[in-house]
């Protein structure tokens, strides 16, 4: 190991992470396994080390400096000390994402890696990207990473003949958060679209629209998004504006994003009976890809724990959609979605 770096003999790793550091907001947590080994890194890898045990404060210290390598020996050392997450400074996070894209393209064609493991790694990296977009939606480079991960995931699904939805869902988050939900909608939509016989271009448009469908919630206050009780009429009207806000954000990236993905963001809450929002469009006037996201979005939301209710089982969620929400969906698509999930 490079002697200029933190020496393994002197490294002290504390389990109190991040919260005690005053500059925690400048760092992004990534899985240790997503740091390439045996290759020079273009970014520095950090970890919060306790600097003052009396006050309980931590400082981010370099573990591996840019230009150096994560050796197998040092990775094993970190794992033995229960280090599963390391940190990248937000100013270098783009470099991490660029390196990850190269690695992920190689990963999906690796014949020795199980499909379940590929799915787990792709899911995790898609989460990094959607977090990056939500942290700064004005940066076009962030959307390029989104395009890349959707292309990679679409290729993964197209090359995999035996992936059952249960394999995809087994790694899904149980508790709702906007990042996990966005990734899960994209993953399910891409897989469902393949079963529907959509073209590769449509699958890409759908996956990207699924990943970005809730980006308009950036303009909705945390108090409303995480309110544990029912929303007031005024609060619900604000919430119903998020598809419009989403389109406004994505309209600034039209040189990068397909128009279909932007339409999905605008129309994913439109209802077949015309009672949806924001445009009260009926089935005939709603984009076919938005109709797919409407179903997948609803299903994923129902099967996650929320601050105001517990998650439904997949069967209970589908039952609710078929009984209480039936008029909201394209019924043929809903029937196909149920068969896709194996019910």
Residues 182 and 286 in one domain: yes
116 occurs within a structural domain = yes
pLDDT in tens, the chain (343 residues): 443 344 444 444 444 555 556 688 899 999 999 999 999 999 999 998 876 666 667 789 999 999 999 999 999 999 998 899 999 999 999 999 999 999 999 999 999 999 999 999 999 999 999 999 999 999 999 999 999 999 999 999 998 877 889 889 999 999 999 999 999 999 999 999 999 999 999 999 999 999 999 999 999 999 999 998 889 999 999 999 999 999 999 999 999 999 999 999 999 999 999 999 999 999 999 999 999 999 999 999 999 999 888 999 999 999 999 999 999 999 999 999 999 999 8
Give the SS3 label for residue 273.
Answer: strand
Inter-CA distances, 332 with 25, 34, 211, 272, 310, Å: 46, 40, 24, 12, 28
102 occurs within a structural domain = no
- Which residue segment(s) compose the domain that 2 sits in? 1-89
DSSP 85: E
Residues 140 and 279 in one domain: yes
For residue 176, what is the domain's CATH number?
1.10.3210.10
What's the pTM value of the predicted model, to 2 decimals?
0.92
Secondary structure element (H or E) that encloses residue 233, with its range: helix 233-239
Query: How many domains, in total, are found in the chain?
Result: 2
96 occurs within a structural domain = no
CA distance 157 to 165: 11
103 occurs within a structural domain = no
Question: Which residue bears the tokens 């990679």?
Answer: 152
Residues 256 and 175 in one domain: yes
């Amino acid at each position: 190991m490079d002697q200029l770096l933190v020496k393994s003999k002197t490294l002290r790793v504390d389990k109190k992470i991040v919260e005690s550091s005053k500059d925690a907001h400048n760092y992004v947590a990534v899985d240790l396994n997503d740091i390439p080994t045996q290759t020079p890194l273009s970014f520095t890898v950090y970890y919060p080390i306790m600097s003052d045990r009396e006050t309980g404060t931590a400082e981010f210290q370099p573990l591996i400096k840019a230009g150096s390598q994560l050796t197998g020996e040092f990775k094993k050392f970190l794992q033995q000390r229960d280090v599963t997450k390391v940190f990248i400074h937000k100013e270098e996070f783009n470099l991490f994402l660029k390196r990850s894209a190269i690695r992920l393209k190689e990963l999906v064609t690796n014949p020795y890696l199980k499909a379940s493991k590929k799915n787990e790694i792709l899911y995790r990296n898609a989460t990094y990207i959607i977090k990056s977009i939500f942290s700064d939606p004005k940066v076009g480079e962030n959307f390029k990473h989104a395009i890349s991960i959707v292309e990679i995931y679409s290729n993964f699904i197209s090359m995999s003949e035996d992936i059952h939805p249960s394999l995809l869902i087994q790694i899904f988050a149980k508790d709702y958060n906007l990042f996990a939900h966005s990734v899960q909608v994209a993953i399910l939509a891409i897989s469902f679209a393949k079963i529907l016989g959509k073209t590769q271009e449509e699958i890409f448009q759908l996956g990207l629209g699924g990943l970005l469908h809730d980006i308009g919630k950036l303009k909705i206050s945390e108090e409303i998004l995480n309110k544990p009780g029912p929303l007031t009429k005024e609060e619900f009207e604000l919430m119903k504006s998020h598809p419009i806000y989403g389109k406004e954000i994505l309209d600034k990236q039209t040189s990068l994003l397909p128009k279909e993905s932007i339409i999905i963001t605008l129309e994913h809450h439109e209802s077949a009976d015309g009672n949806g929002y924001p445009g009260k469009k009926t089935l005939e006037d709603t984009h076919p890809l938005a109709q797919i996201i409407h179903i997948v979005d609803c299903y994923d939301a129902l099967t996650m724990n929320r601050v105001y209710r517990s998650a439904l089982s997949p069967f209970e969620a589908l039952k609710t959609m078929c009984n209480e929400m039936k008029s909201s969906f394209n019924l043929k698509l809903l029937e196909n979605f149920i068969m896709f999930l194996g019910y």
